[in-house]
Structure 1
Amino acid sequence: MSVSVRPVSSKRELAQFLALPRRIYACYSDYVAPLDHDRAQLIDPAKSAFWTHGKAAYWLAYDEKGRAVGRISAQIDDLATGPMHEGAGFFGCLDAVDDEAVVAALVGAAADHLAGQGKTLMRGPFTLSINAESGLLIDGFTAPAMVLMPWHPPYLRAHLEAAGLRLVKTLNSYGFDRRSSDLADRLEKLGMERRRKGFDIRAMRMDKLSEDAELGRRLFNGSWAANWGFVPVSEAEMAAMIKAFKPLLKTEYGVFVEKQGELVGFALFLPNVFEISGDLGGAPSPLGWLKLAWRGLTRRFSGGRAVLFGVAPRLVGSVSGASVALILVDELMRRAAVTGVQDLECGWILDDNYAMTNVVEWLGARSTRRFGVFEASIQPHRAQSAL
């Protein structure tokens, strides 16, 4: 295929960039299109909280007939600091037809741009932050669509590696199914009633949602600061996530564990919006939007994802920290009986985080999907344009 890659420079091209995946992946039965409206909250410079601490550039690839056949972003995150991010720029929003030349051209454009910003390493894909959608789907292509988890066709990995990128980390997602698992029995064997003594456990306060969200954000950032690839969740990003999901949130979706007045554990569950939007397409009709609003008001969600989960930094790696983590899982399961949630996805967990992996597998979680993070060295050169 003859390929040309051009930067996105207009609102019309940005709309094409947002909608491209649902057009080129429409032939795949496992792909479920997210709402263009939701994609804009992650990507559109006028709406995305990422742009409060980073900048990005976007490209579309076109075939010889002028049809858009692929897309990519290159971004610099000012919050990605420290030795693990030394010289690193990021790429993301990688979606393309099954053509090696298209992916190679897109990767080349992103790499050249990051090199022009003085970067020596390109890492991704992320949309646009590691705290939003992370990695390239490399296993679990038939798993049901899940909130804030990207879908990619199987061929993209091979094309990405052919373009010179190597897999450096695998992000594993696990799921608990209350209908078939023996999680409750396993938790009981761990003596959860005894473990819960001495801790105060409360739900998220809907009348103080912003305050609770900020408490949870700070604890989450402290809990995972030493994790590979860590980038702190910003105040703007947390506020944007809460705003986007507020119509669907319930007080039971947030768990706060305190001991003697100190917050030592936090978990936030988000309902799987694909349950109410999946059959409406990326750009619903006016009737589709009415259906979406009605479903949001009346439906009990059967599944969702724990998007934030952490324990106080001073407890990380300790027996007390493990107890707090178990209390968070136990509490989420107890509340599931009230909310009607049957499937709880916990993602993601790094492939070398053996302690966490062993715990969730012992508790009966099943592997649902895996995402790959890829890297390539690039040669910095004088910038031709600024992000």
Structure 2
Amino acid sequence: MAAAAITVEPVSGPAGRKAFIAAGKVAYMGDPHYVAPLEFEVSARLDPNANPALKGADVQLFIAKKDGAVAGRISAFINPLHLATYHDATGHFGFLDAIDDAEVFAALLKTAEEWMRARDMKKIAGPFSFSVNEECGLLIDGFDAPPYVMMPHGRPWYAAHVEAAGYKKAMDMYALRYIPRRQFIPEKRMKFVERALSSPKVKIRTLDMRNFNREIATLVDIYKDAWSDNWGFVPMTEAQIAHMAKELRPIIEPYNIIFCEYDGEPVAFGLVLPNVMQAIRDFDGKLLPFNWAKLLWRLKVKKLPEARMPLMGVRKKLHGKPIGAAFAYKIIEMVNSSNMDHGVVASELSWILETNKDMLTMLTDMGGEIYKTYRIYERGL
């Protein structure tokens, strides 16, 4: 019996992006927890003319076929912002999806590796689709629940095939499940929070929609300061910030973002997103012709009962200080209350680095439960 013929070919342009998106669905046939992302959004993420994260970057999309049938996909990406930050000659792979076939995974990864060697990279890491500021990580635990907004899904065989190709763990990240409830912070801890925030210099407020773009820029500025020492951190450009604001505006309400100010300076924030993946679960990635109306109704009228908290940050100068901890607790308390007031009955806190023990302890003490694990892999070239 002849061996199966496996080919991996580069694709580009609108037709290539469309085929690449379709290739991402092949692995999920029969998976009841898979939610197809909106195809127009993914296409924009893949388009260098639409996604400012790709400006000045080198990126290539590949599709694998086995005996002529589409079997998987992968992206290869050299991020100039990462290289400028770490100077480590590391390229990234992402958008990795494939059928349960070790040879297909090996062929996809080998193709990405060869592409990066040709560009003088010394290491490959991922998945990053396309960066730590977008979807990242390979799901290795928690396949029995659908993904939340801006989080990847996966299949149980992915990790074994990636590891068989010589990849090792670089970092794990956790997603925590949380069921909102009143008075979830212990009374003694809450008294500490209120005492620490009793200063007249403290102001806590929600998002000012009239100055939306400026508010998002403030959020990113705090995030950049708070997260700059975190593993894998990559700064965002002004164009990326503006693009982020444009993408968030249709789904954000004032109560979705909390700002904490001290002596007139914004020093902490928390961001919550409605779980749009729940709203589009029956769309099969299509917004037209009528799903746009369903989405609008589910978001703005019916409201979504699930939400994700993807970001929270406190400026570094307040790290380790009582008021910094108090801001973090207060943000979570306000987010929790507003979620419940607006009908949210389930939420996800993600992602949290495995090395962020203080945050994990705080969130689990409040009732959060680790229910998904995502892994970043790496390999020398």
Q: TM-score, normalised by structure 1?
A: 0.92
Q: Distance in 2 between matches of 1:129 and 1:287?
A: 32
Match of 2:194 in 1: 193
- Shift of residue 374, structure 1, vs aligned partner: 0.1
- Going from structure 1 to structure 2, the CA distance change for 1:168 and 1:307 (only over 3 Å counts) comes to same
* Pairs within 5 Å for 1:94-109: 94-109=96-111
Whether the 8 Å CA contact 1:69–1:97 is kept in 2: the answer is: yes
* 2:37 partner SS: coil
- Which amino acid letter does the alignment assign opposite residue 293 of structure 2? L
- Which amino acid letter does the alignment assign opposite residue 360 of structure 1? L
* 2:377 partner SS: strand
> What is the CA RMSD across the aligned residues, in angstroms?
1.8
- Shift of residue 268, structure 1, vs aligned partner: 1.3
- Shift of residue 242, structure 1, vs aligned partner: 2.5
Whether the 8 Å CA contact 1:138–1:157 is kept in 2: the answer is: yes
Number of matched pairs:
375
- Shift of residue 189, structure 1, vs aligned partner: 4.0
- Going from structure 1 to structure 2, the CA distance change for 1:187 and 1:167 (only over 3 Å counts) comes to farther
Whether the 8 Å CA contact 2:141–2:374 is kept in 1: the answer is: yes
Q: Distance in 2 between matches of 1:74 and 1:4?
A: 16
1:117-172 deviation per Cα after TM superposition (whole angstroms, max 9, x unaligned): 11111010011011110100011111232001100101010000111111121001
Match of 1:213 in 2: 216
1:363 is aligned to 2:366: yes
* 1:79 partner SS: helix
Q: Distance in 1 between matches of 2:271 and 2:26?
A: 32
- Fraction of identical pairs, as percent: 32
Match of 2:273 in 1: 270
1:54 is aligned to 2:64: no
**Aligned with residue 159 of structure 2, among 157, 160, 177:** 157
1:315-369 deviation per Cα after TM superposition (whole angstroms, max 9, x unaligned): 1233332222112111211222332223232211111211111111111111121
* 2:184 partner SS: helix
* Pairs within 5 Å for 1:1-387: 1-52=4-55, 54-64=57-67, 66-81=68-83, 84=86, 86-179=88-181, 184-186=184-186, 189-191=189-191, 192-198=193-199, 199-378=202-381
- Which amino acid letter does the alignment assign opposite residue 135 of structure 1? G
* 1:131 partner SS: coil
Match of 1:385 in 2: none
1:12-31 deviation per Cα after TM superposition (whole angstroms, max 9, x unaligned): 12101012222431211121
Deviates more, 1:359-368 or 1:312-321: 312-321
Whether the 8 Å CA contact 1:195–1:327 is kept in 2: the answer is: no
Q: Distance in 1 between matches of 2:188 and 2:334?
A: 12
- Shift of residue 187, structure 1, vs aligned partner: 6.0
- Which amino acid letter does the alignment assign opposite residue 193 of structure 1? E
Whether the 8 Å CA contact 2:180–2:340 is kept in 1: the answer is: no
Q: TM-score, normalised by structure 2?
A: 0.93
Q: Distance in 1 between matches of 2:185 and 2:310?
A: 25
- Shift of residue 114, structure 1, vs aligned partner: 1.0
Match of 1:382 in 2: none
Q: Distance in 1 between matches of 2:15 and 2:64?
A: 15
- Which amino acid letter does the alignment assign opposite residue 326 of structure 1? Y
Whether the 8 Å CA contact 1:52–1:236 is kept in 2: the answer is: no
Q: Distance in 2 between matches of 1:207 and 1:236?
A: 20
- Shift of residue 53, structure 1, vs aligned partner: 5.0
Q: Distance in 2 between matches of 1:260 and 1:16?
A: 53
Whether the 8 Å CA contact 1:175–1:344 is kept in 2: the answer is: yes
Deviates more, 1:17-26 or 1:72-81: 17-26
* 1:341 partner SS: coil
- Going from structure 1 to structure 2, the CA distance change for 1:134 and 1:187 (only over 3 Å counts) comes to farther
Q: Distance in 2 between matches of 1:307 and 1:313?
A: 19
Q: Distance in 1 between matches of 2:293 and 2:17?
A: 26
Unaligned runs of at least 5 residues, structure 1 = 379-387
Q: Distance in 1 between matches of 2:153 and 2:249?
A: 24
Q: Distance in 2 between matches of 1:219 and 1:167?
A: 29
Whether the 8 Å CA contact 2:129–2:135 is kept in 1: the answer is: yes
- Going from structure 1 to structure 2, the CA distance change for 1:99 and 1:183 (only over 3 Å counts) comes to farther
- Shift of residue 274, structure 1, vs aligned partner: 1.4
Whether the 8 Å CA contact 1:169–1:372 is kept in 2: the answer is: yes
Stretches of 4+ aligned residues off by more than 6 angstroms? none
- Shift of residue 279, structure 1, vs aligned partner: 1.0
Q: Distance in 2 between matches of 1:187 and 1:58?
A: 53
- Which amino acid letter does the alignment assign opposite residue 184 of structure 2? A
Deviates more, 1:183-192 or 1:244-253: 183-192
- Which amino acid letter does the alignment assign opposite residue 262 of structure 1? E
* 2:73 partner SS: strand
- Shift of residue 193, structure 1, vs aligned partner: 2.8
- Shift of residue 303, structure 1, vs aligned partner: 1.5
- Going from structure 1 to structure 2, the CA distance change for 1:345 and 1:195 (only over 3 Å counts) comes to farther
Q: Distance in 2 between matches of 1:150 and 1:122?
A: 20
Unaligned runs of at least 5 residues, structure 2 = none
Whether the 8 Å CA contact 1:43–1:127 is kept in 2: the answer is: no
- Shift of residue 284, structure 1, vs aligned partner: 4.2
- Going from structure 1 to structure 2, the CA distance change for 1:55 and 1:83 (only over 3 Å counts) comes to closer
